[in-house]
Amino acid sequence: MDLQLRDKVAVVTGASKGIGLAIVKALAEEGARVVAGARTVDTLAGLERVTAVALDLATPEGPALLVRRALEDLGRVNVLVNNVSAVRMRLQGFLGTSDDEFAWSMQMNFFAALRATRAVLPAMLAQGAGAVVNIASVNAFFEPDAGVLDYGAAKAALLNLTKSLAQEFGPKGIKVNAISPGPVSTDLWLGTDGVAQTVARASGVDAETARKNVLASIGGLPTGRLTTPEEVATLAVLLASPLTANVTGSNYVIDGGLIKTT
């Protein structure tokens, strides 16, 4: 299927690994020209149709600088994928999570996306079309424990913003959607400071046992495996495509069957 993305210009945040890197590759394979931002960009070197930009998206000016680079180099932005994200396990629960820790999570998981969207909307409005895809999380509405309470609150804010922007800018040709992954096989779950390793250190078991225990404690995955970054990327590319032009204000869950309610 031709997704009509050839020579479209896409900006992707948090683009150097995991879901972000998979999205960059999927968009480029569809013929899009991708401006990819992250603090380190070594993994983006040599990718065709990809311009890597090293910058800190957690700073107030970072997202706008990335969008400006795309506009200066390529003259337009057709697609924005707000993927930049970070989580730290809060094993001490709500009372052990400080204001500063909540603020850090909001900066990484909400304000970076808000700022990138604010920066790109004037160009999209001028051209009368555009697509914004926000990578949220099932934790925006599913919190089985306090381990990611600040992350979940930030992603809930992002999901709410998605709905609001879709309502305001839909009449002007701009669609805004979200994707809410469950557990994905990225550093967030499998890395040195990810969920499995953090819980393993706290509970005195190995990382694989910790991963299985955590998944069992939240209800398990009927598919029996984590989602891959490439599967999330497939959804993102579909939502970026003009073929889904009348899809807006929606949130697509990809979680291996974790969420069992409608």
Q: Catalytic positions, please?
A: 151
Number of residues in the chain: 262
Angle at which helix 112-127 crosses helix 149-169, to 10 degrees, equals 10
Count of CB atoms within 10 A of residue 225's CB?
Answer: 10
The structure tokens listed for 141 are 């509405």
Secondary structure of 17-75 as H, E, C letters: CHHHHHHHHHHHHCCCEEEEEECCCHHHCCCCCEEEEECCCCCCCHHHHHHHHHHHHHC
Contact 252, 259 (CB under 8 A): no
Token code pair at residue 33: 């020209």
Provide the angle, in degrees to the nearest 10, between the axes of the packed helices 62-74 and 112-127. Answer: 30
> Residue 147: which of 179, 100, 119, 189 has the closest Cα?
189
Write down the H helix ranges in the chain.
Answer: 18-29, 62-74, 99-106, 112-127, 149-169, 187-190, 195-203, 207-217, 229-240
Distance CA 89, CA 80 (A): 28
| DSSP H or E segment with residue 79 | strand 79-82
